[in-house]
């Protein structure tokens, strides 16, 4: 299937693909895909006003009825799974299997949200006063801005939007400028769901294509109740203070510098499989990609021998073709970051065991394919503590388990982590308050590939936000405590006497 075929099958028309100023290129081969029209930042107040008006109506709709819209969206996504998955691959470069997996994640969160729409429950609370009842209720929060990144161009939108819609919020989505076509396709899919639902207010969901000024309009507006932003720590440092200054709320999903501890008792065969997928999947461009391998000295040589052999067998190439396991980096800037990190690692005493080079230049001269790198480091130096969004795996050696846990935690980021061990004491310590300081901690699986049932997010420079499953829905609502006096007197709390 050609690029043109994929675009056409995705429902993208000439009006969607031409006449704008934002050039879109495929990382697969560098081919020009479109010139997309960007919204004028001056139009953003009108968009926000439209979303706010829609919220005022949508919040009146019962939660289970709101869930019906998301159920229909899930049906539309099921019908478009293969098509949208292929478009994800074309525009962001992850292999087709991962593109399909990303769309399945969208479907899964819709299913989760539909059930949740009947479970937006609070608490009943015992009152200290006679003939009084206390309860906690949850109400829609308002307009939710979703600012997403290129590496998961559609799943992160679905995480936020499915929950926001069933919670009674309206949504404005600003996708990455690197992946606007998948966003336009998702808006079309949602439009079909809205047409079938036939009872949603106009302006319930907007997709706005644009750069920094568009994002700033969302971040700065007091009419945007919640800003859910996925991206770099640098971006988060700009977003969070601005939202906080106007007393808005932010859900931040930022950097990850994820580690795996491999202990002497680990199943090395299973560990190798987990390492390879976690470190080279999406060409190392997941926020949950494995970046640090902390391995016990006694098993290091055996593990690295197997691991380097596995790396050399990984098939790099066109991600649209079956059998490819590693596609390209998104663009030249990412390749430059990859190359600089390799050079810095060498300068800091690292030894490149395999990979670290650009490849397939004859076949794809305008794209940026690289060989995933394994770098043995003498210490957790500056380059190791910095998140490079590329397939570089730094290897660190430990002798004492406490040292391994310290290395795992001794980075600015705190997203995902894992340990491979068959020692229950080690695994339970790793999951305890004294163990991993990350928002995600796994035993005998890698750090990437999270299911939607759990809350997703991390600590420290990862931003502290939570999306997707568990009780992450509470981030899209406002909490209210209610007290009802059903008696005929007015006792005060704390036994206070105030007699007139």
User: What are the residue numbers of the active site?
Assistant: 253
Structure tokens at 282: 């999406």
Contact 62, 76 (CB under 8 A): no
CA 190 to CA 213: how far, in whole Å?
Answer: 25
DSSP SS3 for 77: helix
CA 479 to CA 121: how far, in whole Å?
Answer: 11
Contact 371, 355 (CB under 8 A): yes
Contact 498, 492 (CB under 8 A): yes
CA 148 to CA 411: how far, in whole Å?
Answer: 24
First to last CA, the chain: 83
Which residue in the block uniquely carries the two structure tokens 């990862």? 462
Structure tokens at 358: 């650009």
Which residue in the block uniquely carries the two structure tokens 């003939």? 131
CA 308 to CA 498: how far, in whole Å?
Answer: 77
Contact 260, 438 (CB under 8 A): no
Contact 333, 343 (CB under 8 A): no
Q: What does the CA dihedral 453, 168, 253, 114 come to, rounded to 10 degrees?
A: 20
């Amino acid at each position: 299937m050609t690029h043109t075929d994929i675009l056409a099958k995705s429902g993208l028309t000439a009006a969607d693909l031409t006449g704008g100023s934002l050039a879109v290129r495929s990382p697969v081969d560098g081919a020009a895909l479109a010139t997309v029209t960007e919204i004028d930042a001056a139009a953003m107040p009108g968009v926000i006003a439209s979303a706010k008006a829609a919220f005022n109506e949508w919040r009146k709709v019962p939660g289970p009825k709101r869930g019906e819209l998301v159920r229909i969206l899930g049906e539309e996504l099921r019908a478009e799974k293969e098509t949208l998955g292929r478009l994800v691959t074309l525009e962001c470069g992850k292999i087709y299997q991962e593109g399909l997996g990303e769309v399945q994640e969208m479907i899964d969160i819709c299913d989760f949200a539909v059930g949740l729409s009947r479970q937006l429950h609070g608490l009943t609370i015992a009152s200290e006063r006679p003939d009084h009842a206390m309860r906690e209720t949850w109400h829609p929060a308002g307009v939710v801005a979703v600012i997403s990144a290129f590496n998961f161009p559609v799943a992160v939108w679905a995480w936020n939007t499915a929950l926001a819609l069933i919670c009674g919020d309206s949504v404005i989505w600003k996708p990455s400028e690197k992946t606007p076509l998948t966003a336009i396709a998702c808006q079309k899919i949602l439009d079909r769901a809205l047409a079938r639902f036939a009872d949603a207010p106009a302006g319930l969901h907007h997709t706005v294509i644009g750069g920094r000024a568009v994002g700033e309009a969302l971040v700065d507006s007091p009419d945007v109740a919640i800003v859910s932003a996925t991206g770099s720590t640098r971006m988060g440092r700009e977003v969070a203070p601005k939202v906080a200054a106007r007393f808005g709320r932010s859900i931040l999903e930022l950097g990850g510098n994820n580690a795996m501890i491999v202990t002497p008792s680990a199943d090395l065969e299973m560990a190798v499989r987990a390492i390879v997928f976690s470190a080279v999947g999406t060409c190392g461009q997941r926020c949950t990609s494995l970046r640090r391998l902390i391995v016990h000295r006694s098993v290091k040589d055996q593990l690295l021998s197997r691991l380097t052999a596995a790396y050399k067998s990984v098939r790099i190439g066109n991600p649209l073709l079956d059998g490819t396991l590693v596609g390209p980096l998104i663009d030249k800037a990412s390749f430059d970051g990859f190359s600089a990190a390799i050079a810095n690692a060498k300068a800091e005493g690292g030894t490149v065991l395999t990979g670290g080079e650009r490849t397939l230049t004859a076949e794809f001269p305008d794209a940026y394919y690289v060989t995933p790198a394994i770098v043995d480091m003498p210490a957790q130096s500056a380059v190791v503590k910095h998140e490079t969004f590329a397939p570089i795996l730094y290897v660190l050696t430990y002798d004492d388990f406490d040292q391994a846990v310290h290395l795992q935690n001794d980075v600015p980021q705190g997203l995902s982590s894992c340990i491979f061990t068959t020692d229950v004491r080690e695994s339970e310590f790793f999951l305890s308050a004294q163990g991993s300081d990350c928002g995600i901690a796994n035993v005998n699986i890698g750090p990437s590939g999270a299911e939607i049932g759990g809350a997703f997010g991390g600590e420290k420079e990862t931003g502290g936000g939570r999306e997707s499953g568990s009780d992450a829905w509470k981030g899209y609502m406002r909490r209210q405590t209610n007290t009802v006096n059903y008696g005929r007197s007015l006792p005060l709390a704390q036994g206070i006497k105030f007699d007139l």
